[in-house]
Structure 1
Amino acid sequence: MLLTTLLAVWIIAISVWPLARLFLEALAPGQTGAPLGLMAEVLSARSTGRAFWNTLGASAASVAISAGLGVTLALLTGLFQLRGRIAMTFLILSPLLIPSQTMALAWIELTGATSPILGPLGLAPPPGRTNPIYSGAGIALLMGIEHMPLVFIATRAALRAVPGDLIEAARIVGASRRVILVRVLLPLAAPAALAGSVLAFAAAVGNFGIPALLGIPGRFPMLTTQIYQRLNGFGPSVAGQVAVLALLLVALALGALALRKLILLRLSAPLPAGAPTVPLDAGALRPVLEAGVWAVLLLIAVLPMLALLATAFSPALGVRLSGNSATLANFADVMRNPAAMRAIGNSLRLSLLAALICSIVALPFAFLAVVQKSRAVRVLDWLVDAPWVVPGTVVALAMILAFLRPLPLIGSLYGSFAILLLAYLARFLPLILRPVLAAAESAEPALDEAARILGAPIWRRIILILAPGVLPAMSAGALVLVMTAVNELTLSSLLWSSGNETIGVMIFALQYEGNSPAAAAMAVLSVGLVLSITLALDRLAGWLPPGTLPWRE
């Protein structure tokens, strides 16, 4: 009972109360004292309408790109015997590993007038012309690429679930590869692809990094950037107004997630168990299909990062990179920059502390939810996902409203390292809790029952019985959390203060002040850090349940 109470207090304090405080702020009366007056004032403003429709339009356009790329790549890599499928899959999923602000910066360098890739080919825009990526179309393109893996993963999983017996039956009756694809596989994978597309829309609505780096200089406001600019310009005094904007984001995201659940319930069909689907032989088309996949991956995953890398090694913007001009000066400048080094240290501390604390919370949570089947903890399980489901901008604003006023014995947490940590703990707890719960569900219940009969206390049953079984899943979740949090920008952009900078904030700030080479160098360092964590996670593949690492076959 005590353990359940402590978990309830923790979840309510960092997840439920801040979001509830946000909703209460948005429902406040306006200047005239009319009920819901503040909401009416903000929603009727012309700037709100423009940001809302820009958000809706760019997100919808990005979904078309995500769906087209994700479904096509899933079909090609999932159905045909293509060489190098593991490498292809890793590059397809790479947008999940690259932070939004780094991806935006890479495309800025690729498509700008000083592009180290397009410039030598004569394809870069002429000097003085605005980079075409600074537009609503550019935002939609990049968000579409970033969220494409969500559609790819859903479609690929649906294709793998198709029993091989169905394919074999179609072959026996003389169906061609085209007929099998169009009449059998696509109808079965369509609900999952549609659900993944809706999930991509929800992610696009809450995206901040890409709209911030492209939309602010391109004068294309979206809801997330409008919240950032208002808070950045006027501070907590406009918290009520931006809370209304945050509710718009929540409504769009929750509407999309509700639609996704409806699609899965109404359109998905249960499939009989059977042998897994054997990839089809592409025959003479295999070289063409392989070339097509590699060409797409070269464009969306490789060339932008090469442009970013080239900018990081360039002595100055506009100077063509060569063996003689390449320099490490930008990296040296970053290393000598106290704020940059402080940002790296802060990001590592925040991500590691969040991983440690969330792991400590996840163990007793899984024990109470799975082993003891506590109804109260099952209810808490629903509440845990709230800060992950709603956009990060909303979570950051909720933290400001909840912890702006001084707390007993603590004071105000606004502008402190602690508020950043609390936001990370609330936002990223599901990344560890979900795999730990899944691992606990598959554990042998007789072991805990035997320990209980022998009189072992709860803490010993958690540490000695449950923990060893869920340790691989918890380790993988912790590494995913660190990999996600170390380059986080959405929360940090609203919660950071002098001395509490993060890597994402520094990349954004360096690019915003016009120091592209230093921003590129900082971004390259951050990508290297994420790839190092990814390699460490890949080393755990042998101890993890199948499917934990999506780039592994």
Structure 2
Amino acid sequence: MSLPAGLGLPVLVAACAIVLGGLPFLRLAAAAFAPGWQFAPDAALAEIGSRAAVNATLHTLETAGLSALGALLIGGTAAIMLGVTDVRGKRPIAFALVFSMMIAPQVAALAFLSLFAPHSPILSLFGLSPAPGTPNPLLGRGGIALVMALHHAPLVAITLWTGLRSVPQSLIEAAQMEGAGPGTIVARILLPVLRPQIIAAALLAFVAGIGNFGIPALLGLPVNYLTLPTLIYRRLSSFGPAGLPDAAALSVLVALVAGLGIVAGMLATRRAGGKVEIERPLQPFWLLGRARPLVTAALLLLLAIKLGLPFLALLSEALTPALGVVLSWQNLTLDKFAEVLVRQDVTVRAFRNSFLFAGSAAVILALVSIAFAYALERRMGKLRRVVEVVIELPYALPGVVLAIACILMFLKPLPLLGVSIYATPFIILFAYIARFLPLALKAPVAAMAQIEAHHEEAAKLDGVTLWQMLRFIVAPILAPAATVSALMVFLVAFNELTVSALLWSSGTETLGVVLFSLKEAGLAGEAAAVAISASVVILVAMLALDLLAKRLPQNVLPWRI
């Protein structure tokens, strides 16, 4: 039985959305509340109400809440400085801010651990290094909240930059004609106008804090300060598949907490009202004059604290022959880089796996995104929003929730095929495709929305099939946007830890997993070398994206303000 003409592609896209975004979470809910497909929620509710789960929930809420406030203050200030003033070096500063966010959370945590360690060569230069033998001051709640605030601050800045683009220049000019100064315009006009975006940015940082695994794992696990993601990790690492029912219940709890933040953010942005026609977008109106060097210096100081000093500490740890040795030209060595890049089988395999998994997901999603973008923009009609919500689920909810859902979905052999992909590379690839599909769709959907339909209408009159239209008309037009999608997916997947930490098996280790394992084993220098090498790969990918910027729709790359 064939589908009516024109319905094949929408049905296929909807089916893929259900498989990638719907079934895993339905399986998770079933495992938690209906084990054996019999409704029996008592065990799940008991686990959710246990002392360990309650304490982890409180820890999650306090670190996510404190970090969201910090990210809002830091990221909001940076967004205003870069968005409305004539400060120098806007684009390089914005690039560095976004780069600091693209670096994996576990790398950021490791860098700050190196910076504040008792043997820190950087702080020793200023006489601020902690005394030998004392615990690292970043371990625990305060350190987790601080590092997450710094790491998530660019999320806030990007959200506010998007809001600033929707402010008409005429609004600022009207205020200036009334004699309002720059400070008054920011305080009494811009901030009230941006209130929905400010609330959404804070909630976005809050949700990111709830799902963050890398930072609480490195800064919390050593002192037994558990958040929900690290509690789930500890349960699975301790009990294996036997701990899946408890992990499923805890994952549902994580999803509920994060879901409340997501819904609140959606409501906040919806209250912003309808679209406003903008003849001229907002231009920088705050001329700093003599304060210009000071504002530039303040932004550079932020980058030094957030990016420069931690990575100098990380680099020095990777270049010294042993822990605690002061770095000098006489003892500088690349031995740790040679160890992790050439000699150690597990780290070499992790680099290969990360390139393979991230690259495969990027290529597959780039190809798929063309058909998805065409279907969503041209063929879905009223169902588009429903399909988009289902697609967004794996990306919006914390990665640990998706990982547990994938384990439950693929633990047993697949129906009809009789083959299991559990403990194989394919389960990680499936999770990457599901998680990063929404990211891959952003650029192609934006590009598709700007394309007029007359090319397709002419092709239909010539009797062109859907496949021919996609191949010869739509694909060439969307190719640059799909290429950007591939690079963006590679950026975030290459260093990913939250999903792969629960899905890896022997032979499928990724860089995030190996870095975490090296740190746990006390091999801080080798972990630092892995972190630096991985960050270089991310930097190269971002620079490649920047070179492609001229061929892309506006505002696709967040640092090009």
TM range (shorter): over 0.9
Judged with a 3 Å threshold, the aligned counterparts in structure 2 of structure 1 residues 533 and 410 are, in CA distance, closer, same or farther, namely farther
**Which residue number corresponds to residue 26 of structure 1?**
32
Matched, 1:338 2:345: yes
**Which residue number corresponds to residue 537 of structure 2?**
529
Judged with a 3 Å threshold, the aligned counterparts in structure 2 of structure 1 residues 92 and 34 are, in CA distance, closer, same or farther, namely closer
Bigger Cα displacement from structure 2, 356-365 vs 231-240? 356-365
Shift in Å, 1:8: 4.0
Judged with a 3 Å threshold, the aligned counterparts in structure 2 of structure 1 residues 373 and 8 are, in CA distance, closer, same or farther, namely closer
Shift in Å, 1:3: 4.1
**Which residue number corresponds to residue 324 of structure 2?**
318
Question: Contact between 2:446 and 2:553, CA under 8 Å: does it hold in 1?
Answer: no
Tell me the distance in 2 between the aligned counterparts of 1:161 and 1:149. 19
Tell me the distance in 1 between the aligned counterparts of 2:109 and 2:446. 35
Q: Residues 110-153 of structure 1, C-alpha deviation per residue, up to 9 Å, x if partnerless?
A: 01101121023221111111101111110011111111111111
Tell me the distance in 2 between the aligned counterparts of 1:319 and 1:301. 23
Shift in Å, 1:353: 1.0
**Which residue number corresponds to residue 463 of structure 1?**
471
Alignment of 1:36-435 (within 5 A): 36-267=41-272, 271=276, 273-279=278-284, 280-334=286-340, 335-373=342-380, 379-407=386-414, 408-435=416-443
Question: Contact between 1:18 and 1:398, CA under 8 Å: does it hold in 2?
Answer: yes
Bigger Cα displacement from structure 2, 62-71 vs 166-175? 166-175
| SS of the residue 1:71 aligns to | helix
Gaps of 5+ in 2: none
Determine which of 434, 439, 442 is the counterpart of 2:450: 442
Question: Contact between 1:106 and 1:305, CA under 8 Å: does it hold in 2?
Answer: yes
What is the TM-score of this pair, normalised by structure 1? 0.96
Shift in Å, 1:378: 5.7
| SS of the residue 2:372 aligns to | helix
Shift in Å, 1:450: 0.9
Shift in Å, 1:400: 0.4
Letter in 1 for 2:73: G
Tell me the distance in 2 between the aligned counterparts of 1:282 and 1:166. 20
Shift in Å, 1:5: 4.4
Shift in Å, 1:12: 2.8
Question: Contact between 1:192 and 1:268, CA under 8 Å: does it hold in 2?
Answer: no
Judged with a 3 Å threshold, the aligned counterparts in structure 2 of structure 1 residues 176 and 10 are, in CA distance, closer, same or farther, namely closer
Matched, 1:481 2:489: yes
Question: Contact between 2:495 and 2:511, CA under 8 Å: does it hold in 1?
Answer: yes
| SS of the residue 2:437 aligns to | helix
Bigger Cα displacement from structure 2, 319-328 vs 278-287? 278-287
Q: Residues 352-402 of structure 1, C-alpha deviation per residue, up to 9 Å, x if partnerless?
A: 111122223222222333233466666433311111111100001001000
| SS of the residue 2:421 aligns to | coil
Question: Contact between 2:47 and 2:249, CA under 8 Å: does it hold in 1?
Answer: yes
Tell me the distance in 2 between the aligned counterparts of 1:9 and 1:265. 28
Number of residues of Structure 1 aligned to a counterpart in Structure 2: 551
Q: How much is the aligned-residue C-alpha RMSD, in angstroms?
A: 1.8
Judged with a 3 Å threshold, the aligned counterparts in structure 2 of structure 1 residues 164 and 360 are, in CA distance, closer, same or farther, namely closer
Shift in Å, 1:270: 5.6
| SS of the residue 2:121 aligns to | coil
Bigger Cα displacement from structure 2, 431-440 vs 420-429? 431-440
Tell me the distance in 2 between the aligned counterparts of 1:172 and 1:366. 44
Q: Residues 391-434 of structure 1, C-alpha deviation per residue, up to 9 Å, x if partnerless?
A: 10000100100000122434322211111111111111111122
What is the TM-score of this pair, normalised by structure 2? 0.95
Judged with a 3 Å threshold, the aligned counterparts in structure 2 of structure 1 residues 29 and 15 are, in CA distance, closer, same or farther, namely closer
Letter in 1 for 2:282: T
Letter in 2 for 1:347: S
Bigger Cα displacement from structure 2, 426-435 vs 500-509? 426-435
Judged with a 3 Å threshold, the aligned counterparts in structure 2 of structure 1 residues 269 and 446 are, in CA distance, closer, same or farther, namely closer
Question: Contact between 1:28 and 1:37, CA under 8 Å: does it hold in 2?
Answer: no
Determine which of 495, 499, 505 is the counterpart of 1:491: 499
Letter in 2 for 1:24: A
**Which residue number corresponds to residue 11 of structure 1?**
17
**Which residue number corresponds to residue 545 of structure 1?**
553
Tell me the distance in 2 between the aligned counterparts of 1:156 and 1:365. 27
Question: Contact between 1:510 and 1:519, CA under 8 Å: does it hold in 2?
Answer: yes
Tell me the distance in 2 between the aligned counterparts of 1:322 and 1:58. 38
Tell me the distance in 1 between the aligned counterparts of 2:21 and 2:457. 33
Tell me the distance in 1 between the aligned counterparts of 2:558 and 2:383. 33
Judged with a 3 Å threshold, the aligned counterparts in structure 2 of structure 1 residues 269 and 294 are, in CA distance, closer, same or farther, namely farther
Letter in 2 for 1:281: L
Q: Percent identity?
A: 39
Letter in 2 for 1:539: L
Judged with a 3 Å threshold, the aligned counterparts in structure 2 of structure 1 residues 268 and 110 are, in CA distance, closer, same or farther, namely farther
Tell me the distance in 1 between the aligned counterparts of 2:113 and 2:272. 40
Letter in 2 for 1:479: L
Judged with a 3 Å threshold, the aligned counterparts in structure 2 of structure 1 residues 109 and 362 are, in CA distance, closer, same or farther, namely same
Gaps of 5+ in 1: none
| SS of the residue 1:217 aligns to | helix
